[in-house]
Chain A
Amino acid sequence: KNQVEQSPQSLIILEGKNCTLQCNYTVSPFSNLRWYKQDTGRGPVSLTIMTFSENTKSNRRYTATLDADTKQSSLHITASQLSDSASYICVVSALTGGGNKLTFGTGTQLKVEL
């Protein structure tokens, strides 16, 4: 069964600090992995997308890594801001006979405080 697990479930950090969120997956056949940021009551916004051959991808203060051998990914947030408070969702895509199929993690709820 395809699964995506994220840790920690929630995290509180002080403004300006860095943090790292983890994602482990058992999705096959693997196509790509995405990180989304979702504000409460809003749709998810894509931060990064990585394919099998990509190890690192950055988008402003967000840096995602992918280890396809161990099936692990991380999202590192640098110099956090209050606006980073949101849910961060790891989504893994598999190519199946019926087309693309996304498996969502349950998210990490991040709160950035003064």
Chain B
Amino acid sequence: DTEVTQTPKHLVMGMTNKKSLKCEQHMGHRAMYWYKQKAKKPPELMFVYSYEKLSINESVPSRFSPECPNSSLLNLHLHALQPEDSALYLCASSQDSGRGGYGYTFGSGTRLTVV
């Protein structure tokens, strides 16, 4: 089991739905990340939160909205998604974003299908 917990593990949503992905870690890490991974491709960075502040947004469409309520939690709010947004969404955390990412740990992912 990973120390980064993602829920739900699977999600099917319609293009008009609003849903949220959740990520939680209790390792005391101060940097948290969202990645999107399509089949047979490497993960693509979406957002980086460092000390609960958004530090990197890799030009992700506004239908994806991240939120970091506290240092242990990271959410990804989804609205008006397109079928091409179907992918594995990975959360990760590390000790902080500026020390080579030591302790970088991935969650098990949420398999998202947009219909």
A residues within 8 Å of B by Cβ?
31-32, 34, 36, 41-46, 49, 51, 89, 93, 95, 98-100, 102, 104-107, 109
Given A41-B88, A45-B2, A102–B104 Cβ distance below 8 Å? yes
Inter-chain CA distance A65–B48, complex, in Å, is 29
A100 contact set on B, CB distance < 8 A: 31, 94, 97-101
Inter-chain CA distance A42–B1, complex, in Å, is 11
3 nearest CB pairs, A to B: A104-B42, A99-B97, A100-B101
Return the CB mask of B16-44 against A: 1 if under 8 Å, else 0. Answer: 00000000000000010000000011110
Is B90 at the interface (CB under 8 A from chain A)?
A: yes
Among A42, A51, A95, point to the contact of B109 (Cβ < 8 A).
A42
Q: Once the chains bind, are A43 and B108 in contact (CB under 8 Å)?
A: yes
Q: Once the chains bind, are B98 and A102 in contact (CB under 8 Å)?
A: no
B residues within 8 Å of A by Cβ?
2, 4, 6, 31, 40-43, 45, 48, 50, 55-56, 88, 90, 92, 94, 96-102, 104-109, 111
Q: Once the chains bind, are A46 and B105 in contact (CB under 8 Å)?
A: yes
Given A93-B101, A105-B42, A99–B48 Cβ distance below 8 Å? yes
Inter-chain CA distance A109–B39, complex, in Å, is 12
Inter-chain CA distance A95–B97, complex, in Å, is 9
Q: Once the chains bind, are A41 and B48 in contact (CB under 8 Å)?
A: no
B48 contact set on A, CB distance < 8 A: 99
A34 contact set on B, CB distance < 8 A: 104
Q: Once the chains bind, are B109 and A41 in contact (CB under 8 Å)?
A: yes
A45 contact set on B, CB distance < 8 A: 2, 106
A99 contact set on B, CB distance < 8 A: 31, 48, 50, 55-56, 96-98
Among B31, B96, B106, B111, point to the contact of A41 (Cβ < 8 A).
B111
Q: How far is the CB of A51 from chain B (nearest CB, A)?
A: 8
Among A32, A104, A106, point to the contact of B100 (Cβ < 8 A).
A32
